[in-house]
């Protein structure tokens, strides 16, 4: 969850 949150940006 944390990974997706911080790496969902381009």
Partner 1 sequence: MNIFRLFGDLSHLLAIIILLLKIWKTRSCAGISGKSQILFAIVYTSRYLDLMTTYISAYNTFMKIVFVATSYATVFLMYMKFKATYDRNHDTFRIEFLIVPAVILALVINQEFTVLEVLWTFSIYLESVAILPQLFLVSKTGEAESITSHYLFALGSYRALYLLNWVYRYYAEDHYDLIAIVAGLVQTVLYCDFFYLYITKVLKGKKLQLPA
Provide the CB-side half-sphere exposure for 5 (13 A, CA).
Answer: 2
Query: Scanning residues 1 to 10, which ones bind partner 1 (CB under 8 A)?
Result: 3-10
Min. distance of Cβ 7 from partner 1 in angstroms? 6
The CA distance from 10 to 5, in Å, is 12
Size of the site for partner 1 (CB under 8 A): 8
Min. distance of Cβ 1 from partner 1 in angstroms? 11
Q: Which residues bind partner 1 (CB under 8 A)?
A: 3-10
């Amino acid at each position: 969850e944390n990974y997706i949150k911080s790496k969902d940006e381009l």
